[in-house]
Structure 1
């Protein structure tokens, strides 16, 4: 039987015939560098383990079976989101051949692909690696992945950059790896507005530094219940009302699971203000400008406040 290219759109019609051929027994007879029958596109920033899982599911295989079938030796055990699957360059080439996606394109989509060994490795190998909490992937928008997979799954995990905290089209977000499903944000329209502002902020040369600083400051304010509790408490309550599952997640409180979402509008506003501050600003002038950007009549941080410390350091 000769292989034919079948796109994801044709999968629904083609899968029954294909899956009768691609069984665990016959899979091992497929050359490791042969192109696959199905075309499963990766998401931008998708975890390698997530993509391998989706690709394996398309063939009704487990990830170990899929990797073994393309000649990749799997080491260790793990599961998303606490662990990520790292492939060496040879294994990545095998995966790209199966996926029928050029390796450079696949590496751009999967940021953790081909992190092991070097390009001259002869053995194709994959290894499970545990990840620190701050590096773990989060759930992708369920509607986006369902559309991308033509209804075959709604689960994928992505390493999301800060400016993609939420999906503005479907009003979903996942700000913490411990969230087993996404958070619906329709009831908090200021999140979509903040997302729009954040995209414009990216054009500023100081955007990355300003964002890192602003997020550290607003996180501290949130944890110590300073300055914006009158906004953050109602916003948290609204998210919980729209997403009852937040109150039944046993791993952490809703206040922690949604912290990045709750503080997002103020973080974006503060980052924008910090990015556009003049060099060596006078502290009182800077505080007035920042208060205006944050929608406050005045902002009077104490001596230990991280914003005050930052402005003092900037002046010197």
Structure 2
């Protein structure tokens, strides 16, 4: 019996598909052989597979992984003991765009699949945007192949800085705010446009498929990755700013400009950072 270890935050359908690949079966064949009734049709990344408790137990036996260990990885496996008397069942469910998984690092996937496949999909949290060991990333579900990040070493530095940010009690709020601000800057070509364009050019040079994905422009597909170092730097600064709006706005802008390695942050009243520092922070 084969053992296929789930990746952290791996989509349930991805974990099941990797297990099926290891047994040289299709996903429906694997579930049928395991006594799990499959309802509906779907495929990753626009749909996810939801298993009830009995189906998860069957999957744990096949994967040779204790159920508590298995449910810590795929986020759509049940964590409780409800519905023990029901049939083992799996259901395909459509996902909204913001809920869809992205491609996992191919080398991490091969390692956990005993070389059987390099394809996996993960519901990646923000602090797992980059694989620092293998220099890969997939910032958007529409990318069916990971991007190479070795030519942009600041992405790995940002990854490690993000892990340090997580220790701060205001990390979640600071990250959400920083990401909204840098996304606005990126979309409106403010402050860091030249730096971000240079970074995007390097990513395309290392991953030409980024420019040939027909579903969206490279600038949109790679936006979270391109802005990542500055988003982390901004979030780390916002997390430690004192809660004193109005009086320290200009000082805060000067500090943030320094952290972003900018001579200054010339902004008007409508700039999202100034608006946050002046009116929102409390």
Contact (CA 8 Å) 1:86, 1:115: kept in 2 or not? no
- Residues 315 and 214 of structure 1, relative CA distance in 2, 3 Å threshold: closer
The equivalent of 2:236 in structure 1 is 272
The equivalent of 2:27 in structure 1 is 63
Contact (CA 8 Å) 1:88, 1:117: kept in 2 or not? no
State TM-score, norm by structure 2: 0.95
CA distance in 1, matches of 2:111, 2:54: 31
The counterpart of 1:139, out of the listed 80, 103, 118, is 103
Structure 1: stretches of 5+ with no match in the other structure: 1-36
- Residues 178 and 139 of structure 1, relative CA distance in 2, 3 Å threshold: same
1:91 aligns with 2:91: no
Between 78-87 and 61-70, the greater mean CA deviation after superposition: 61-70
Secondary structure of residue in 2 paired with 1:126? strand
The counterpart of 1:293, out of the listed 226, 240, 259, is 259
The equivalent of 2:165 in structure 1 is 201
CA deviations on 1:236-288 (whole Å, 9 max, x unpaired) are 11111111111111111100110001000000000001001012242111111
Aligned pairs for 1:233-312 (under 5 A) are 233-281=197-245, 282-312=248-278
Q: Which has the larger radius of gyration?
A: 1
CA distance in 2, matches of 1:160, 1:253: 22
CA deviations on 1:30-61 (whole Å, 9 max, x unpaired) are xxxxxxx1111111111000010011111111
Structure 2: stretches of 5+ with no match in the other structure: none
Secondary structure of residue in 1 paired with 2:41? coil
Contact (CA 8 Å) 2:22, 2:113: kept in 1 or not? no
Aligned pairs for 1:1-16 (under 5 A) are none
The equivalent of 1:34 in structure 2 is none
Secondary structure of residue in 2 paired with 1:86? strand
Secondary structure of residue in 1 paired with 2:90? strand
Secondary structure of residue in 1 paired with 2:175? helix
- Residues 315 and 216 of structure 1, relative CA distance in 2, 3 Å threshold: closer
State TM-score, norm by structure 1: 0.85
CA distance in 1, matches of 2:36, 2:111: 30
CA distance in 1, matches of 2:79, 2:215: 30
The equivalent of 1:151 in structure 2 is 115
The counterpart of 1:169, out of the listed 124, 129, 133, is 133
Contact (CA 8 Å) 2:4, 2:114: kept in 1 or not? no
CA deviations on 1:109-160 (whole Å, 9 max, x unpaired) are 1111128993334211110011111111111111111222222111111111
The equivalent of 1:228 in structure 2 is 192
The number of aligned residues is 280
Give the deviation of 1:201 after TM superposition. Answer: 0.9
- Residues 190 and 271 of structure 1, relative CA distance in 2, 3 Å threshold: same
RMSD: 1.5
The equivalent of 2:82 in structure 1 is 118
Contact (CA 8 Å) 2:71, 2:79: kept in 1 or not? no
1:185 aligns with 2:163: no
